[in-house]
A and B are shown apart, each in its own frame.
Chain A
Amino acid sequence: MSVEAVDTKRVPSTGAAAAKDIRTAFSSKWASIFIIAFTVVWTVPTVGLLVTSLRPAKYVANSGWWTVVEHPHFTLSNYNTVLFGKGATTAIFPYIINSIAITIPATLITLAIATMAAYGLAWLRFKGSDTVFFIIFALQVVPLQMSLIPLLRFYNFGAHIGKVPIFPALHLGGKYYPVWISHTMFGLPLAVFLLHNFISQLPEDMMEAARVDGANHFRIFRTIVLPLSTPAIAAFAIFQFLWVWNDLLVALTFAGGTPKVLPLTGRLEQLVGQYGANWQLLTAGAFIALIIPLIVFFSLQRYFVRGLLAGSVKG
């Protein structure tokens, strides 16, 4: 599983010779040194985080993490402290649960609704379906900051025309629902766009054959489209998972900072102020927050890269 795996498109002999020509222009010892140095610089900050999170407090306060080379002292107690803590105020364990409770539904619901919409826009072909697709695509770039205030008011006060209520206030404070719904709303434009790219390319004859056999759209969707679109769905699932897991703004706005709902990112942001110079705790907390998306990312990297490329490269 690697980034490289998807890059092996086609390098026939003539092109290879040409590519080699270009490479020689850049090939020198210096280029290799540059790349190695660059990779080291790119990786060292994360290594520093991991090392610090494993060092006892007294060493962290008095020496840089790179001194572990000379004085290796390691402990897991930092992780125990940040996870379960001395009091409920410091422990981040409940916030991990919140992150999971936010991320899983926000990913699954978005996927379901987006896949349906992508199929509808690609294969139901109604009047204006192309226009709808373009509008959804354009919505991708509306900064979600634009939506936060009105959406929060909508959840809290409902909708009115003049004084006439047309939608009741939902009173969703302190619940997961507004966070799920908001993530779904904000994730839809990209999801519909990527999935539509894929689903619209499915073989026409297969759909036609199923229709001749008397299958309706719901059946075609379940038995043909869903199984065939698994790669695209997987690619977007990773996207949405990472985006929701790593989000701070949406969670801060719609979870309202209550410990009942606030995810790990929100808690970490608070800890930056609270732990201040207690780097061993802060880094342990940060590492816990990193490790789940990193596992997801490295195990599914191939799909993730494919998903990235689906929207941006014209081959």
Chain B
Amino acid sequence: MGVSVSAAHALMTASTFSDSVSKLSQVISAVVVFFAVLLLIFFFAGRATGRFQRPLTIAIFVGPAIALLIVGLVIPSFRTFYLSLHGASAARNAPYVGFRNFRFAFTDPATQSVLLNTLAWIIVAPLVATGLGLTIAIVVDRMKRQSLVKSLIFMPMAISFVGASIIWKYVYDYKQSSQPQDGLLSQVVIVLGWKHPPNWLLTHPLNNFLLMVILVWIEVGFAMVVLSAAIKAVPDEIIEAARVDGAHGFGLFSKIQIPMIRATLVVVLTTIMIATLKIFDIVQTSTGGNFGTNVLANDMYTNAFVTNNIGLGAALALILFVGVLPLVGYNVLQLKKERSNR
């Protein structure tokens, strides 16, 4: 790699290497054991006969998933509700405090701004991402080399929120305007004539929107791909009929196509909304929740794991849950409707 490697460095590398090998072999043996046990269970359960055969089969196929979901999601949800009614202490016997944590969450100015920011996130980011995704899905359709364009726009989907945040933190980087710039955004606005751009990530409330750009950057590709497929799935007869009735151009698009893909539009919107509500990594990496950019999921993490205010952390998680509840209901209804159509 063009760098002289010192003896100590080589030693360190060697020990890291052997450490890695032993770690990976442990992991591989764990996986092998898991699948071996599974095969054994299959083998012996396959021999079972009589009255217990059917219940046993059901238990083996569905049991592990149900058990994991009960332990991992169902019980913790009730437990979180219980914790949210109790005091800050991480100990077993935190005192019962009623709804004090919730009252605090809605009256404390810092937490209020967290709730406001979260509201702004779930309104702005999904709408912008879906809107852009829809526009591109329609426009890109007529282009040559559209697969290249689509792949490039879709690429950020594969990048972690942490990686994306680093990419954009660099775009937003600030240097005194007398020095050469290294942040792309500052450079662009200077070229455009804004001589003294601000320190972007410290400027409230602008910084909130700059962080939303990161999420939009990731989600537009998702919206584009799903909506583009939905547009292509609209039955041709319907478009034909509308054309015979005299609809064309933009009218055909807004009056026929949009209503036809409304269900998909809503699915895309809710999916991005749910992702937005849980957004944690972007804020944590970019600003750590400082400078007025904190959001619910990040504040919840800080309370629960950094400042050890478990009760308040649980209360914030519950507020988050109540926030997504209407979306859950909507999605279940949608799925029921779809399945009864089959």
Residue of B nearest to A248 (CB): B281
CB distance from B62 to the nearest CB of A (A): 4
Q: Which of A26, A182, A184 contacts B138 (CB 8 A)?
A: A26
Task: Please state if B225 and A3 are interface contacts (CB–CB under 8 Å).
Answer: yes
Q: Decide: A126 near B332, CB < 8 A? Known: A132-B66, A248-B162.
A: no
Q: Is B331 an interface residue (CB 8 A)?
A: yes
Q: Is B123 an interface residue (CB 8 A)?
A: no
* B 132-160 to A, binary, CB cutoff 8 A, 1 in contact else 0: 10001011111100111111111111111
- Range of interface residues on B (Cβ < 8 Å): 35 or more
Q: Decide: A21 near B248, CB < 8 A? Known: A64-B181, A298-B151, A312-B271.
A: yes
Which B residues from 18 to 58 make CB contacts under 8 A with A?
19-20, 23-24, 26-27, 30-31, 34-35, 38, 42-43, 45-46, 54, 57-58
Q: Decide: A265 near B71, CB < 8 A? Known: A63-B182, A313-B264.
A: no
Task: Please state if B158 and A297 are interface contacts (CB–CB under 8 Å).
Answer: yes
Q: Is A219 an interface residue (CB 8 A)?
A: yes
Contacts of B249 in A (CB 8 A): 21-22, 24-25
Task: Please state if B65 and A39 are interface contacts (CB–CB under 8 Å).
Answer: no
Q: How far apart are the CA atoms of A272 and B136 in the complex, in Å?
A: 33
* A 26-48 to B, binary, CB cutoff 8 A, 1 in contact else 0: 11000110111011001111101
> 28 A-B pairs, CB-CB below 8 angstroms?
A3-B151, A4-B146, A12-B236, A14-B236, A25-B253, A26-B142, A39-B149, A45-B217, A49-B170, A60-B182, A65-B184, A88-B16, A97-B19, A100-B24, A112-B38, A138-B332, A144-B73, A145-B301, A146-B80, A148-B301, A148-B304, A148-B305, A184-B72, A186-B72, A248-B162, A269-B284, A289-B160, A289-B163
- Report which B residues bind A (CB closer than 8 A): 1-3, 9, 12-13, 16, 19-20, 23-24, 26-27, 30-31, 34-35, 38, 42-43, 45-46, 54, 57-58, 60-62, 64-66, 68-69, 71-77, 79-80, 83, 92, 132, 136, 138-143, 146-163, 165-171, 173, 180-184, 187, 217, 220, 222, 225-226, 228-230, 232-233, 236, 239-240, 243, 248-250, 252-253, 257, 263-264, 267-268, 271, 274, 277-278, 280-281, 284-285, 297, 300-301, 304-305, 310, 313-314, 317-318, 320-321, 324, 327-328, 331-332, 335-336, 338
